Amino acid sequence: MAHSTTPRKLRLGMVGGGPGSNIGETHRYAARFDGRYNLVTGVFASSTERSRDFAATLDIAPDRRYGTWQEMAEQEAQREDGIEVVAIMTPNNTHYPVAKGFLEQGINIICDKPLTTTLEDALDLLRLTRETGLVFGVTYNYTGYPMVRQARAMIRNGDLGKIRLVQVEHASGWASTLLEAEGHKQAIWRTTPSIAGKSSVVGDLGTHAHHLARFITGLEINEVSAELSTIVPGRQTDDNAHIKLRFDNGAKGMMWASMVAAGHLHGQRIRVYGEHSSLEWIQEEPEQLIFRPVDGPIQTLSRGFGWLSPEAQHASRLWPGHPEGFLAAFANIYSDIADAIIDRQTDTSNALFPTVEDGVLGVRFVDAAVESNEQGGRWVDATLAL
């Protein structure tokens, strides 16, 4: 793996991801995976006592077990050995104030998606990032998979010809019942509009599909026509979305984002069709990329081989036949961000990791989908000049 050879580890802090948090453990694994970070502080829960108790289990020094993120940002900025980057994994409606607070203290950011719950807040974070010259990564982590990067490289190489059709979905079944009524913590905040934002399913899953389609194809989405539905009776927000897409090169597409696809585990998949061939990638079978030329045999490309693109090889660690997975892909995002911070990359326009600009476009996509749905599925402009 061809990441920076600089031996110094970045000093990392975390906000959120405390007791019982799957995403918190994922971030910590990703940070440790390639030895690029030292977790030295954090505010891991809204309760000061629970946060400090959890920090102790992570061997955080007693004087860095802060009670609030505001205290953490201020105190760490004043330390000679203060954190260089903070990872934010809190409910959606808190991303903006937390990220803003750390940016204003000169600290780089890794933030879960969606970036914010309003476009105004997202644009303000973009402004601050550009003014400070800091690195801001957003964890659209599925683009860390080697074969996703292989698909991107093949399309840029012209292997499919002009892209005509894009079918992308992120349809899971985790919320097929009214879990929030049973006290399920994740379900409660993900389905509460004041916390999750304007659209639960598009903000939570649709933004992943949106970024995956943009990342692989290199295309932007110009217009959307959306139908957002609430399938589970009693739910406060939408839990299923069918969205038609028009891309900037004239290609057509369809997105399905769902929390109620009963029986689906994770349900992320993308198919891209060009003039003379197509590609398909399925997240639950991430080691393979299916290439279907019109005038030749179907090919199943596997991770780990030397004839894959440099981007795919860069993201791989193990040899063929020894599967890598979700944590390794997440770690690729963390390691790419570490490279950018250590190398002081102020221009991340060509970065492989998702940037604050990608986060802003995700929020814009949510707004466009909601607007279209409110207007009966009318085609709505989804563009935004950055």
Residue 196, both tokens? 């999750």
pLDDT at site 8: 83
pLDDT at site 214: 99
pLDDT at site 171: 97
Contacts of 385 (CB under 8 A, 6+ apart): none
Specify whether the CB–CB gap between 298 and 179 falls below 8 A. no
Give the model confidence (pLDDT) of 15-52 as tens digits.
999 998 999 999 999 999 999 999 999 999 999 999 99
Instruction: Show the domains of the chain with their CATH numbers.
Output: 10-141 (3.40.50.720), 145-318+355-381 (3.30.360.10)
pLDDT at site 7: 64
Low-confidence ranges of the chain (pLDDT < 50): 1-2, 4
pLDDT at site 347: 78
Specify whether the CB–CB gap between 372 and 379 falls below 8 A. yes
Strand order in the sheet with 221-229: 299-302, 288-293, 277-282, 268-274, 163-171, 252-258, 240-247, 221-229, 380-381
Q: Given its phi and psi angles, is residue 377 left (phi above 0), alpha (psi -120 to 50 degrees) or beta? A: left
pLDDT at site 348: 79
pLDDT at site 344: 84
Please give the Cα distance from 272 to 4 (Å, whole number).
32
Q: Look up the pTM and report it.
A: 0.95
